[in-house]
A and B are shown apart, each in its own frame.
Chain A
Amino acid sequence: MLTVCHLYPDLLNLYGDRGNVLAFVARCRWRGIPVRVLEVGLGDPVDFGEVDFVFLGGGSDREQDIMARDLLARRDDLAAAVEEGLVVLAICGGYQLLGRYYRAADGTLIPGLGLLDFHTRAGKKRLIGNVAVEVDLDGWRVTLCGFENHAGRTYLGDLAPLGRVLAGHGNNGEDGTEGARYKNVFCSYLHGPLLPKNPALTDHLIRLALRRRGLPEELEPLDDTLEREAVRVMLRRLKVRTG
């Protein structure tokens, strides 16, 4: 039985990010892997040691602020679980929150959880549009597609990016990186949502979760014709060639 922890589903419900949880769960169930979802709200108890996959999305500024305070109280538990291999996907606002800080447009420093070595600064213009990113998943080169919409510019410290930008802006529109990776934590600015349209990444996360539990990680292949078609349409539009 895998346990998925959806953090603040009521609060962070922008941009259809709940689709990431739907995709993770569906692709487990289609293969007969039992899975359950814990919806964790403000103040609800959760033991990250018992959880296999955590999803953290983004919200509007108001909601982001409320969730940051709640998550800060759980920081040490989360950090310990991350160190021993907890699989995490954090998108957009959720991504920014895992870093060291966010410097707002007026100069205010909003502290993050500091789980990963990066920081974010507010930019003048929002970075908006379709994105293609090349990532390496266990030696497989995969092109991910999604949609970014963020004012923050993220700069990585001693940390690997999720991938290389083929089209779009990515972390900051300057250095060609998108997202961040640390142990089994995956961060990205990509909405779309990310997992449904990019099943290779979803399956990678499922495999990592199974591996951490010492379960067989061999996944039965699924028919991904529709997903591949959706990505193909976008890559063609973005004029991105894949090998």
Chain B
Amino acid sequence: MRRLRLLLAVVVARVAAFLARLAGHRGSSLPGMVALRLCPQAPAWLARDIRGHRVIVTGTNGKTTTSNMLRTILTEAGYRVVANREGANLITGVATCLLRAAGWRGRLDHDHAVLEADEAAFPSIAAAVRPSVVVVTNFFRDQLDRYGELDRTVQLIRDALLGLEDVTLVLNADDPLVAQLARLTGHPAVFYGLAPVKGHRTGQVREARYCPLCRAPLGYDGYVYGQLGHYRCACGFTRPRADFEGLPEHGGTGALTVCHPGGRLQLTPGTTGFYNTYNALAAFAAARVLDVPVEVIQKALAAYRPATGRMEEFRYGSKKVILNLVKNPAGFNESLAALLETRGTKDVFIAINDLVADGRDVSWLWDVDFEVLAAHDDCRRFVCAGRRGADMAVRLKYAGVPVDRIGVAPSLQIGIRATLAGDGEVAFFLATYTALWPVERLLRRELRGDRVRAHRMPSVS
């Protein structure tokens, strides 16, 4: 009976996937949604077929990149890995990827699973998959109208972790909100973090300046970013010693030295930015928990290339074109830092949507430090677009960007064309989640004819 239901779910998912593709969708969630209706236990039954580890990666920023890096490492190590891709990170997306991988026989023939889980969906995904390893990257403010406040998100994940057995946590030591999970759940934990970097800038967005355990203000011996850093509290809660500690090289090349329990080694991931340093460390630590040799990790990360819209780079004539996803204040600030580090005059396109996946409330734009752009003469023009392009324009105006450099485009296409037609040496495209795919599609259409060399660059997020 159970096999029958599962096989039925497989068939239905396949048909749904076929129809979705026929209708021009990517079909990364719909098949699972339909199949779950018929057989809610499908993901749980399928997950039991996995021979080795079931890894879930969750947190606000860096889920996609960390899981992609880990999948690359495990594949390099010769394992057969099942993974959800492209941010299909709700239970429907997980069900879709497991059913797709199961084939017509309804069985998985895989060594490991690497699943990215949206924070709000983590409880349902964890309950179904029963992970043996859980990676938590960081907790920042993200789409509050969907998750309620940050405290609730952390609680949700803590409670779900309490319901698990035989699980190893891989935690960001530098984020007090993440690091506390070891103590709150009692599960064995492996920590990763950055060695303190003197003089690194500090952002405005600091979520947990107060001790999550006793509420007293936290002291910091060094900030990395936002609330991330080397914190300590009078109550005894301090940043745990990192089992995997990264020391980034000067000059923002992305290269770093990693101190790990077996020694130290140089890592040169094909990505830059602080987030990616964290993502690489998280993937490194998780891979070690899975006993992958360090040399394999080193090799896989050096060859790793970012996914769509994660600082993806194109050419348009002599112009460099960069596309990046923005989804919350912390990530947007990192994108602005990357923009300022890019040499040459720029035309900047920003598409802001306010659908559920973007966050319906666009007030988070006011927690981004656009003020850094005011004095930056290299940015010749800002083209704002998307459902809330006008709100973006208002934000830039109050950040001190001269009004004659700000425009609101009536459509994505008009905005993209105007940006590419600008006289800047670089065209920088930033888009929120639901705007990313349409912008990428329209952008590729404009670039077609002009030979597209999809030479990819650093990822942020």
Question: Is the CB of B241 closer than 8 A to any CB of chain A?
Answer: no
- The closest CB in chain B to the CB of A22 belongs to B398
Docked-complex contact B149 and A230, CB < 8 angstroms: no
B141, B366, B397: the one within 8 Å of A226 (CB): B397
Docked-complex contact A15 and B361, CB < 8 angstroms: yes
Docked-complex contact A60 and B150, CB < 8 angstroms: yes
- A227–B391 Cα gap in the complex (Å)? 8
Q: Which candidate, B7-15, B202-210, B303-311, B416-424, is the interface stretch facing chain A?
A: B202-210
Question: Is the CB of A48 closer than 8 A to any CB of chain B?
Answer: no
Question: Is the CB of B390 closer than 8 A to any CB of chain A?
Answer: yes
- Bitwise interface map of B from 140 to 151 toward A, beta carbon under 8 Å scored 1, else 0: 010011001111
- A191–B145 Cα gap in the complex (Å)? 12
Question: Is the CB of B16 closer than 8 A to any CB of chain A?
Answer: no
Contacts of B210 in A (CB 8 A): 62-63, 66
- A147–B151 Cα gap in the complex (Å)? 21
- The answer to whether A193 and B366 touch (CB under 8 A), given A61-B151, A128-B145, A229-B408, is yes
Closest CB in chain A relative to B218 CB, distance in Å? 12
- Bitwise interface map of B from 378 to 404 toward A, beta carbon under 8 Å scored 1, else 0: 000000000110110111011110010
Closest CB in chain A relative to B399 CB, distance in Å? 8
- The answer to whether A23 and B398 touch (CB under 8 A), given A10-B209, A17-B366, is yes
Question: Is the CB of A184 closer than 8 A to any CB of chain B?
Answer: no
Contacts of B205 in A (CB 8 A): 13
Docked-complex contact B144 and A149, CB < 8 angstroms: yes
Closest CB in chain A relative to B141 CB, distance in Å? 7
Main secondary structure of the interface of A (DSSP, over half): helix
- A26–B396 Cα gap in the complex (Å)? 12
Docked-complex contact B406 and A226, CB < 8 angstroms: yes
Question: Is the CB of A14 closer than 8 A to any CB of chain B?
Answer: yes
Contacts of B21 in A (CB 8 A): none
Closest CB in chain B relative to A71 CB, distance in Å? 16
Closest CB in chain B relative to A126 CB, distance in Å? 7
- A190–B149 Cα gap in the complex (Å)? 17
Max chain A Cβ within 10 angstroms of own Cβ: one of B149, B151, B360: B149
A63, A196, A232, A233: the one within 8 Å of B366 (CB): A196
- The answer to whether A149 and B361 touch (CB under 8 A), given A10-B206, A16-B366, A226-B406, is yes
Residues of A within 8 A of B (CB): 10, 13-19, 22-23, 26, 60-63, 66, 126, 128-130, 147, 149, 191-193, 196-197, 223, 226-227, 229-230, 232-233
* Extra pairs beyond A60-B151, A193-B363, A232-B390 (17, CB < 8 Å): A13-B204, A13-B206, A13-B367, A16-B367, A19-B366, A22-B398, A23-B398, A61-B149, A62-B210, A147-B361, A147-B362, A149-B145, A192-B363, A197-B394, A226-B390, A229-B393, A233-B388
Pick 6 A–B contacts, CB within 8 A, sort by A. Answer: A17-B363, A66-B210, A128-B360, A193-B366, A196-B395, A197-B391
